[in-house]
Structure 1
């Protein structure tokens, strides 16, 4: 092999090593952020805190709000309820929650794209 040239396997192993180092650094950063955030909020986060689980919980919450708003609107439409204002407020709250979730998703995806664009 000539000096300055690498094979695809060498490049692949370098990328895997870099990804492993990034994952390790991200884990360390998450642990330090959890330790730093716990005294501010006054509550200790659980030992198994997971960003993935937090996102799943947020998604489930947004879905629940949307379902509740749809049920309230259906009750108003069918005449079971006359609380049109409450149904409209629930619908608006579900819409805002979904918008917020999409903004968080877009920020996370932007950060991942930025990480992928980093020079190796």
Structure 2
């Protein structure tokens, strides 16, 4: 669970470094970071779903591994929602600024 969060955060640390002259490349890397993070959350959700299916069918799947996969997916999804909320709050704050 912590490894998946570290993987997402390690990508964010590299993208947060400012680039002096080229704002387009910075925006592109932020966009790429968001897409990669969403894809990672989607992968974890799919893995959890497959693990639950295997458990329900009675295939060789332990309940322990299934619950770990489900919790990883849950934590990563909740983190994604919180990041989304922070981005929306920042956007709303920018929109409230007076020029």
TM-score normalised to structure 1 length: 0.60
Instruction: Identify which of structures 1 and 2 has the higher relative contact order when contacts are C-alpha pairs closer than 8 Å and 6+ apart.
Output: 2
Structure 2 unaligned segments of length 5 or more: list them. Answer: 1-16
Matches within 5 A, 1:20-99: 30-31=18-19, 50-99=29-78
RMSD (Å), alpha carbons: 1.8
Structure 1 unaligned segments of length 5 or more: list them. Answer: 1-28, 33-46
Runs of 4+ in 1 over 3 A off after TM superposition: none
Q: SS of the residue aligned with 2:91?
A: helix
- Give the distance between the partners of 2:86 and 2:33, measured in 1 at CA: 15
- Give the distance between the partners of 1:76 and 1:104, measured in 2 at CA: 32
- Computing the radius of gyration from Cα coordinates, the structure with the larger value is 1
Q: How many residues align?
A: 78
TM-score normalised to structure 2 length: 0.72
Out of 58, 79, 86, the residue aligned to residue 100 of structure 1 is 79
